[in-house]
């Protein structure tokens, strides 16, 4: 049985295992950060969160994701618009799962 947790941050849910490196929504923090909105740890499923469970992460870097292009077009109207967007993200490494 592999030990993993599912936690929530920034309105999204992430699956984490110790040693994983994941990209999450931007956090205004440095060093270590703890997430206590843990929805599941191994076989324990929360209602809606698992009491006393935490996911401890180390922030590796703050950066921006790859660019996505947003293209709008209305046919036969000579209307075309292209916009680009790069989301701010935080890269974290999972160091410990408590609970």
Residue 79 burial by CB count (10 A; 0-12/13-18/19+): exposed, middle or buried?
Answer: exposed
pLDDT at 76 over 90: yes
Average pLDDT over residues 88-94: 97
pLDDT in tens, 3-29: 899 999 999 999 999 999 999 999 999
């Amino acid at each position: 049985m592999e030990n993993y947790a599912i936690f929530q941050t920034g309105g999204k849910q992430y699956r984490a295992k110790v040693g994983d490196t994941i990209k999450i929504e931007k956090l205004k923090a440095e060093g270590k950060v703890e997430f206590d909105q843990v929805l599941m740890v191994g076989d324990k499923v929360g209602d809606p969160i698992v009491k006393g469970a935490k996911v401890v992460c180390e922030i590796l870097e703050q950066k921006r994701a790859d660019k996505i292009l947003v293209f709008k077009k209305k046919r036969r109207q000579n209307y075309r618009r292209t916009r680009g967007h790069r989301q701010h993200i935080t890269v974290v490494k999972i160091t410990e799962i408590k609970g």
